[in-house]
Structure 1
Amino acid sequence: MIIGLFVIGVGMLFLLDNLGWLDLDLRIHIFPTILIAAGILKVLQTRTQSGVVVGGGLIAAGSLFMLKEMGYLAIDWRNLWPVFMIAAGVAVVIKSNLNRSAPATNAPSLDKDADETVINATAIMGGFKRRITTQDFKGGEITAIMGGCDLDLRQSSINGDAVLNVYALFGGITVKVPIDWTVMLEGTPIMGGFEEKTVPPAAVGKRLIVRGYVIMGGLEVRN
């Protein structure tokens, strides 16, 4: 629903601009709006603290871009990039403190990367590659922003269903699964693509459900 309303809104703006009722500047409106919308989608999708931080960062970056280009914010980009670096460091510190202060529990947590039953991977302008060998994979969350994630599950197993939430913005995600898993893609590509290259399993019972958004990027699931 959110994606549909966003597309309708952008189409209406272009129509009003073509009719001469508005004077749009693509540099001012479109790119910052994409960042803000992508951040909102991330915040609504995520189930982790780190995901909220990533979504909030996208919203903040889009807002800063728009305010600067519209003339409401006078700031030099030489002074702005250290602020983003400081914010990234603060996010890492907060996530570390949350992981260390979390009480011990038998239930898996999305914010504990050490627990292989649940994956929480984030790649921002970089790469993330991991192999998981747990026999009780439960899913998790993968985020790739201007970077790539490679998750190898070929030596893992599922007891029933597992849900993997994915989010790629100007990036790519590759998931390798065993040949006895059934893969269901329930995500939404936005100027991007979902691709499944798996062999149909002989028996149904182990099912990986992939959900999320791929914005100007790609997702590939294969054996």
Structure 2
Amino acid sequence: MNRHHSKLTSQLWVGALAITIGLIFLFDNFGLVEARDIMRFWPVIFIAIGAVKIVQGRSVPSYFVGGVFIAVGAMMIAHKLGLVYFRMRDWWPVFLIVIGIAVLLKAWYRRLPQGSSEVTDQSDTINAMAILGGYRHRDDSQNFLGGEVTSVMGGVELDLRHASIQNEATLDFFVLWGGVELKVPSDWQVVVQSVPILGGVDDRSYAAPGSNKKLFIKGMVLMGGIEIKN
């Protein structure tokens, strides 16, 4: 999937959600529908987030995180329909299990040494994940292609100042209640294409005049932040 398709997918989901909510309240004002009856299905937002994560994902951990969001949203909707009995206070330990599985998948996927939280390599692609913790990564690849960064209630520090790209590279972010600090070389142009929802992307990087190397930032930022600097 190319970066333009991924960007369009994220914007379609966010735009469709905003239009749907607006129409619900508009029709409620004219007495055509009852907004309270419809808005009780708000957990569909979790399903939408999970779907976007799976569509944009390029690794097993990403598909797993997306599947968890979809499962939680589906269970909450089924509960509201009276199909199952589901209370978050009963099921919260499952989230600890999910976090553990995600960490194991990450370790298996990347083949990292056990207990490692700081990584330096020369891989052309990266796959960084921080869940309720921190992750530091430095990549010195001279043919950097991009990768995937996930931060869920955690922090990621990504240092690419000694890396180089031939023409273009793409980093796909999923940030939920977390933060990411990204450091890039001064000869890279950063193009932000991510979709922030109650969050933000602060690009403080400076590209030298005439630079033709571009790093595309895409993905979704939910109640979190990404800071980009040199």
For the criterion TM > 0.5, the same-fold answer is: yes
CA shift for structure 1 position 79: 4.3
> Corresponding residue for 2:181?
174
Task: List gaps (5 residues or longer) in structure 1.
Answer: 101-112
Match for residue 13 of structure 1 among 10, 13, 24: 24
The reply to whether residue 55 of structure 1 matches residue 52 of structure 2 is: no
Distance 1:67 1:218 in 2: 32
The reply to whether residue 33 of structure 1 matches residue 40 of structure 2 is: no
The reply to whether residue 43 of structure 1 matches residue 54 of structure 2 is: yes
Task: Give CA deviations for 1:32-82 in whole Å, capped at 9, x if unaligned.
Answer: 232222111111111112111111111112222333355432245454233
Task: List gaps (5 residues or longer) in structure 2.
Answer: 1-11, 112-119
The reply to whether residue 189 of structure 1 matches residue 196 of structure 2 is: yes
For the 8 Å contact 2:50–2:65, the answer to whether it is kept is: yes
**Residues 18 and 122 (structure 1 numbering): CA distance in 2 closer, same or farther, change over 3 Å?**
farther
Distance 2:94 2:218 in 1: 33
Match for residue 206 of structure 1 among 209, 213, 218: 213
Match for residue 219 of structure 1 among 204, 210, 226: 226
For the 8 Å contact 1:148–1:171, the answer to whether it is kept is: yes
**Residues 24 and 151 (structure 1 numbering): CA distance in 2 closer, same or farther, change over 3 Å?**
same
**Residues 26 and 169 (structure 1 numbering): CA distance in 2 closer, same or farther, change over 3 Å?**
farther
> Corresponding residue for 1:84?
95
**Residues 120 and 89 (structure 1 numbering): CA distance in 2 closer, same or farther, change over 3 Å?**
same
Match for residue 157 of structure 1 among 154, 160, 164: 164
The reply to whether residue 24 of structure 1 matches residue 31 of structure 2 is: no
Distance 1:192 1:75 in 2: 29
RMSD: 2.7
> Corresponding residue for 1:108?
none
CA shift for structure 1 position 12: 1.9
The count of residues paired between Structure 1 and Structure 2 equals 210
Secondary structure of residue in 2 paired with 1:29: coil
For the 8 Å contact 2:57–2:63, the answer to whether it is kept is: yes
CA shift for structure 1 position 175: 0.9
Letter in 1 for 2:164: S
For the 8 Å contact 2:201–2:225, the answer to whether it is kept is: yes
For the 8 Å contact 1:28–1:70, the answer to whether it is kept is: no
Distance 1:219 1:137 in 2: 20
Distance 2:180 2:45 in 1: 20
**Residues 93 and 166 (structure 1 numbering): CA distance in 2 closer, same or farther, change over 3 Å?**
closer
Q: TM-score, with normalisation over the residues of structure 2?
A: 0.77
Q: TM-score, with normalisation over the residues of structure 1?
A: 0.79
Distance 1:82 1:67 in 2: 20
